[in-house]
Structure 1
Amino acid sequence: MNDSWFKISVIDGAINICLFLEMYPECSINDAIERLRTGPVSLACYDYQKAQALGELVGWETFSVEGSRCEKLRGILKSMLIYFQPFWARHSYLGRDKVIVFLNDNALQCLKIAGLLESPLSDAVMTWWEGIGRFFRSIEESRKLQIGREGERKSFNYEKIRLRNELITREPEWIALVDNTANFDILSYKRFPGDLTSESELMIEVKACTYEPKSFILTRNEWLKAIESPNSYMFHIWNLVKNELTVLTVEQMLVHIPSNHGNGKWETVKVVLDY
């Protein structure tokens, strides 16, 4: 597990190896570890076996950070977080307290010794958390984009098959790929019941998730687009894990839409489907 690398005995072991090799560059890493293990008790107690594996994994330059003890640890931890991306660090863009609740004792000790749990926060510590949060926010946004695109791909393929089965010769268009401001994702076509000759456009807004119950965020602009043409707009909601599609009309979505009050206007709404 990625969390297992976040132990102060491992990190300090890697730091000690680097310091030793700076003093005795003619030594190999194995020689350095052997001499550290048989040296003073204060240096012999670290987990050098795992420290060697860590250094070879993330690069020894990670542990050659200049500065005070806290500054070194902060730089090392930042590099390790970016490399391993442990579960708890992925919540850092939500704030430090959201990270702490997921930490095991070893990771908690690392952050504490690095001064990253101090209160009130110093400028240096605020800058550290801000940088980590910004990195993992970009990761999360990229993940959500990939989930959304996968849902759109599934709806695009679903519509190709549906049109073919209904003997509609036109092909769907993946609008979101060419215009992400259109407030719908797929342009398809449909026939009204009893009319086998004429076709009308069908705008489809696609949402996707990877959990139960299915939930998604709907924006005000998407809803305003939907109610412009309620008979020509549809919602596709995918559970990607189950490869399960829920199709909702504008009328069916209406029950989930909040009301404006006073001078306030809703901008986004989280819709949870209890299916």
Structure 2
Amino acid sequence: MSFSVGILYSSQSFLELVKENELNGADFPGIFTKYVVADSRAVLNTTLECKWVILKENNLLKVTAKGDLILNAMHPYEKLRIQIADIIEVTKPSWAPLIGYGRSEAVKYFSEEVLQCFKEAYLLEGYEQKVIEWWDKLAIISRGLFEDVRLEVGRKGETLSRQYEKLRIGVDPIWQAIESNFSGYDLLSQIDEENSEKLKIEVKATTSKTENISITITKLEWNVAKTSERNYIFHIWTFYPKRELFILTQKEMSTHIPINQGNGVWESVEIIFSREHLKQYKSTDIF
């Protein structure tokens, strides 16, 4: 199956043609050698494989509910986003698993044609909510549905931390977690309004209703925290019984971090805080 801007736009036009006309799938490639800007057979095969159209009796084509989603999307870039997601799910390109590690990681392996598709769909820049949701949906598909709830809660925490930082310093922090999972932190902010020195923030979030709050810190996150010292903090969000933010410095977190001993090397650590213990770190500037 082809993955190019020409195929995607030509497929959109093809769906409109099928919607408005009684069209025989077997005859279509013979009638049109090229359709819009793409090979007609490639357009037909793509729309069939992605189940945007189906063949009925007598080889007559019919637009499916999935095809209608594309046709009914308001903007051209929204149509492209639906198409790109469907093609990735159907074809499972070799770079698809990298989507779960952040868009910058996946983009490194895009061909020029694929890159152009993402550019025209406005998926490569910015933190618009629909863009983040699109990438998260693809990440869930690539990593498995068990990640769904955890990812949703984590993104909620990151979104709140971005809002918190914007109010604190008047500047939007960089949402590093969207770009890469290999950075060792989620947001890149600054010390305060007057001091533009970089501040790395690792965000943890939980919907736990128990007395104890559990978070997990990876070896990568801690290695970055150690090298950043005063320029690295942890945001811990809880959503029950009400929304609260607790902020810990690298030094305050260090007392809970294990050390390597003998032949043992830790990769991640679960830290369990009581709600009572966390009170001392509670932010009073919550919005």
TM-score by length of 1: 0.45
